[in-house]
Amino acid sequence: MKYMLLIYSDENAWTESEREHCYEESTQLVGQLRSSGQCLAAAPLHPVSTATSVRVRDGKRLVTDGPFAETREQLGGYFLIDATDLDEAIRIAERIPGARVGTVEIRPVLEIPGLPEALDAVAAADRNGHSVSRRR
């Protein structure tokens, strides 16, 4: 099973040194998860002030500044993992430094037949990222 772990937290809740420390810790975690074959992808994101939103309506492209929705906590990074079940995913999620400051949302990845192997991870990440914000 693939799971997308979406890390939400208040961007302003971090000091610069905390953020640095979080990156270091996350890098180590990714290393450990890679060696056990549990991590497919992971990355932090630039703050929402850098976000751009795109919508296509009636065939027309609309580009706006900012995230999909203004929320108190923002998506700050993600892990795409491979785990046998939800309990294993939860055990990985609790090791993510962001879980101590914000919230890690676990979303099972929907596998679509016919999606090219190497790309399906990234595609799933995008899809899930969006449906999360739509729910909020």
Which parts of this chain interact with other proteins (CB under 8 A)? 1, 84-87, 90, 106, 108, 110, 113
76: left (phi > 0), else alpha (psi -120 to 50), else beta? Answer: alpha
Total count of residues recorded for the chain: 136
Least Å distance, CB 87 to other proteins, is 5
Question: Token pair for residue 68?
Answer: 């999909």
Q: How far apart are CA 13 and CA 46, in angstroms?
A: 15
Least Å distance, CB 91 to other proteins, is 9
Least Å distance, CB 6 to other proteins, is 14
75: DSSP letter: E
Q: Which is nearer to other proteins, 51 or 106 (CB)?
A: 106
Q: Which is nearer to other proteins, 59 or 114 (CB)?
A: 114
